[in-house]
Structure 1
Amino acid sequence: MIYRDFQNLKLSALGMGAMRLPVIDGNDAQIDKEAAAEMVAYAMEHGINYYDTAWGYHDGNSETVLGEALGRYPRDSFYLATKFPGYDLSNMDKAEPIFEAQLKKCGVDYFDFYLFHNICEMNIDAYLDEKYGIFDYLMEQKKKGRIRHLGFSAHGSYDVMKRFLDAYGEHMEFCQIQLNYLDWSFQNAGAKVELLNSYHIPVWVMEPLRGGKLAALPEENAAVLKELRPEEEIPAWAFRFLQSVPGVTMVLSGMSDSEQLKENIRTYEEDKPLKDKEMTALLEMAERMVKKIALPCTACHYCVSHCPKGLDIPSLLELYNEHCFTGGGFLAPMALMAVPEEKRPGACIGCRSCEAVCPQQIKISEAMADFTAKLNA
């Protein structure tokens, strides 16, 4: 196992995420405790020392199951991370009771790593609102030693991350973002990495395989990679990419069965960062993958000046592309929660004024109608 330096710690470069533990009969709330414990045992035996869970994972059961599995080992033999669930605005005034409950669920006296969960458009105002006292409470727990290292995770835009960093950046020790070779440009992840590097904040990675999409590729794309590294398995390319990104310290993988765990551990037996030629080929391939589905909006904003409803069409198309490429998911609906009803896709009246000035000749009105239908499905 490769290890990375973080302050005075040696962290396994691969961490085990507990969002996709094995379940019984396809029921996400019913974790297969025996199978999960076996996976944790294998991970511990093969050098993984970082484990990540959260309040809402597996319908609230992940913290308990992971805590029980890790409870079989000395407390100083692993690092445990969980998060304050700010993805639900009703939790904002409950920092203390939630934190106390998390300690009990996990069966520990302290958390090695604790995060503000999911900084995004929907919750940034509440996270920064002093009346909730979330930041002050968590800083107090850190002073008491009940939180050893404090950070945040973000699914929001670059600008949202910048707002959070401007407020609390000097106190953040690490940041977890969605980072993979597909999202390097598609979700502006490359710029987010640069932002974190400018604050000297180490990067934690979630979704390295983008929910499994990068574990198996169409034959035409797989052939490109196999020609460059015949011996490398396709999923390993996602991890080799991350081994090549400056600032990346921890890579979390939500492995749902033992075979995935074993394969990823084999990959992390050595560092094999990409050469320039390999990096170029990989990112060009990712761009082709996105272009097959995404609308070619260049954010020129000509459409905005001609929209009688004043919709931020480029931003809406960006969310539409994400929603289409992912096949649904929570990112677009979550971002739209911060947008007034009269500025959402459903507000489009189909007048096509925007289309008359679109250099890319995008059928914007059809996209807005389709987006609305997908969101309501």
Structure 2
Amino acid sequence: MAPYESDDSTSAGEAEDVRAGRRKAARYVVPVAVMGVAAATIGLVPALADSGDPDLPKISAQRLIEKIAESDVEQLSGTVKISTDLGLPDLGGLGSSFASGAVQGGEDGSSADPSSKLMELASGTHTLRVAADGPDRTKVSLLDSAAEYSLIHNGTDVWGYDSASNEVYHSTVPKSEGGEKTAPEGVPATPKELTDEALKAVDDTTSVTVDGTAQVAGRDAYKLLIKPKQSGSTIGAITVAVDSRTGLPLKFTLTPASGGAAVVDAGFTKVDFSKPAASTFDFTPPKGAKVTEGDAAQAPETSRKSDEKLGEGLEGLEGLKTIGEGWNAIAQFDTGGEGVPSGSSGNSDVDGFLDSLGDQVSGKFGSGTVFSTRLVNALITDDGKVYAGAVTKDALVKAANAAQ
């Protein structure tokens, strides 16, 4: 059966058109990317909190996906509640050091750098206030009990402000042309982005159906249900609530195959599609604030070059290939070095963190460590080979054994 399962028939040609250009990388990258995007761009992505089942006209999964693609909403404001549960142990001070290290890169790091603050969305529950007026004006404010962090993109300026430290981060980007996004990579832009990433995984190994209706933040919506057909994936299902009038995703929930709480549950509690006031995106550094100028290399052209360089680096990994297909696909490569045996780093905090995630395994391949979350698992063998994907530990061991 074609991946879009509904009461309406869909020709093989139509299904192939939807899948065109997505299948090569999406097979193993997208299940991982879903979580990556959730951590980095979840700021404007909506959550699942049904408050009713509105009576809406029937729609096929194919047409609902088209409706998402056709959505042209550029103006909105509202409040988003986000919960993320990867099942990671409490990082304590180690988490802070990781976040700090991600942005410092030297002595000029700033607590207002977005790459530091956005990492906080990778765990726990957070409330965000969001606003957008086209591709050149967006604002996301991460609310805390005693402080607030705001990330503002206004024209060619990107500002980050941390009220707790009274620090400001500033960088510049080119003005967009034809609606093209120009904000730095990793900065939240639209609710549609996370859903687009999930849809890249849709192929013949995927079931996509319309699973009733819901009401989110007072808006009537259809529920799109995306599920792997194969067993062995750690992903149970992805549910997206799509606004019935605008086609904009209003909720995104990713549940694991193991059951329990959602890995990602993010969504609007309030939303307004009227044009925000222009002053919403104005920002002037407060008196006495420390201002750190970011690298203008965050512009799309430089980001593109960085992505190309990363791609070249991946291609340089010995034996990079994909094992299996669809949601069960596993990325395999050779680091060319040793694995990550327990206690190897010499840092007790880091070793303790790795040990808390790791599970020693062995087989025909030898021995190694499986590092697990509720979504993505990776087996690193003691001779430096890596097997990673949104699959179970047993699937990784089986793949490593078969590769011998």
Decide which structure has greater helix share.
1
Indicate the TM-score class for this superposition, using the shorter chain for normalisation: under 0.3
Give me the TM-score of the superposition, normalised by structure 1.
0.21
Report 1 or 2 for greater relative contact order, CA contacts < 8 Å, sequence distance ≥ 6: 2
Decide which structure has greater strand share.
2
